[in-house]
């Protein structure tokens, strides 16, 4: 079976930088415990690989032992969490994606001007939790234009931003929706990563040319789930898997061409394993 592989499939710049920082810490380790605060990226296979190299995972600052090295994951952390880590006496290595860090600083600047943050994203996602901490207490998180219905005050000063991996077209629709319902000027922070937009556009273009689409990546990865969503919206069957072992040959009966893309935290090795299996069908 012919497989069309997306050029953008696999690690994005932020994920690559985070893992390079973790690798550098491992290479220079002098016996002190090394841990990540939460999963450094949303990819179970990569996390398991680092666990085998001795990297521990903690779920909160209270679990960090004084003298250990703590890696702040690519999604970033809330301001208060970073402060607690410093109080624990640990060596902090900040592997926050530069795009996320920029979004944090832009939101903080607008919060200092007294504006209420409208944040398009997944409320429980770690990146969103971090972004919210830079907005003080004035913030409203939502995951669709419909979720804003009846929640806007016409005379309030808002600022609009988004989780870096959200859909840019939906964000444009949200911008128009908010502008039509507020009387004050609306600053719009362009916090969606361009790599996310390009990846989604390529997935859409490929989905329109194939019999079936396969998206590879962690089930907890928001950007991977959105890739599967935009591909499926093109009217083609779409399968989201974490590994090649999850593919079922029965799902591809009658298919001659399959499209393949992967989330921003998917390892090249996993992508190649999926491609090899599909080509062998």
**Residue positions annotated with a catalytic role:** 127
Q: For the chain, how far is it from start to end, CA to CA, in angstroms? A: 6
How far CA 196 is from CA of 2, 164, 220, in Å, comes to 26, 8, 16
- CA–CA dist 5, 19 (Å, integer): 24
Q: Quote the strand ranges of the chain, DSSP E.
A: 2-5, 34-37, 56-58, 69-72, 91-94, 116-120, 139-142, 158-162, 212-216, 238-241, 257-262
Length of the chain: 281
CA proximity to 50, closest of 64, 36, 67: 36
Vertex 169: Cα angle to 163 and 175 (nearest 5): 75
Neighbouring-strand partners of residue 35: 56, 70
Tell me how crowded residue 152 is: count the other CB atoms within 10 A of its CB.
16
């Amino acid at each position: 079976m012919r497989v069309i592989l997306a050029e953008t499939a696999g690690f994005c710049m932020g994920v690559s930088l985070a893992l390079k920082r973790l690798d550098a810490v491992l290479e220079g380790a002098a016996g002190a415990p090394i841990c990540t605060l939460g999963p450094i990226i949303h990819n179970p296979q990569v996390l398991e690989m680092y666990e085998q190299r001795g990297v521990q995972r903690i779920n909160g600052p209270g679990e960090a032992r004084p003298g250990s090295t703590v890696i702040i994951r690519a999604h970033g952390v809330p301001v208060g969490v970073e402060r607690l880590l410093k109080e624990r006496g640990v060596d902090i290595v900040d592997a926050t994606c530069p795009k996320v860090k920029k979004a944090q600083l832009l939101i903080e600047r607008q919060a200092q001007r007294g504006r209420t943050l409208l944040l398009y994203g997944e409320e429980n996602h770690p990146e969103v939790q971090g972004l919210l901490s830079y907005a003080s207490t004035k913030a409203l998180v939502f995951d669709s234009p419909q979720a804003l219905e009846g929640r806007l005050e016409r005379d309030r000063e808002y600022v609009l931003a988004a989780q870096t991996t959200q859909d840019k077209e939906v964000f444009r629709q949200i911008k128009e929706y908010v502008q039509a319902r507020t009387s004050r000027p609306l600053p719009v922070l362009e916090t969606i990563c361009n790599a996310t937009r390009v990846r989604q556009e390529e997935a859409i273009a490929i989905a329109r040319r194939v019999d079936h689409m396969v998206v590879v990546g962690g089930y907890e990865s928001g950007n991977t789930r959105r890739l599967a969503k935009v591909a499926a919206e093109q009217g083609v069957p779409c399968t989201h898997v974490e590994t090649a072992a999850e593919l079922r040959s029965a799902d591809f009966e009658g298919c001659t061409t399959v499209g393949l893309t992967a989330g921003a935290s998917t390892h090249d090795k996993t992508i190649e394993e999926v491609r090899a299996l599909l080509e062998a069908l």
